[in-house]
Structure 1
């Protein structure tokens, strides 16, 4: 069974859980999100995308 959820929705739930249960402050979550957007515009973006796709494939059970 494959469930399709937008990545922003999943990250929003993770951020909410971190703020609610781990006691992370809201401004720290915002800084981490902004750093992620900045990082996506650097030379590391292809490696991040490849790692993310590999992780999703493993979770979905599509490993070859």
Structure 2
């Protein structure tokens, strides 16, 4: 996979949030809550449990 496109995660989240707000009329406060909630959850004690659940 040498020629695979590598996109930073923050850029992917930013584009997904922009598309969600623009195309599906998702409120900005909801996008903010989801992003901050995911950020806080990733750094919490629940992170290994969530990681095991999604793998």
Alignment TM-score, normalising by the size of structure 1: 0.66
Residue 8, structure 1, aligned to residue 10, structure 2? yes
Q: Find the counterpart in structure 1 of residue 22 from structure 2.
A: 20
| Unaligned ranges ≥5, structure 2 | none
Q: Structure 1 residues 16-25 or 36-45, which shifts more?
A: 36-45
When the two structures are aligned, how many residues end up with a matched partner?
Answer: 50
Alignment TM-score, normalising by the size of structure 2: 0.75
What's the C-alpha RMSD, in Å, of the aligned pairs? 1.8
| Unaligned ranges ≥5, structure 1 | 52-64
| Bigger relative CO (Cα 8 Å, ≥ 6 apart) | 1
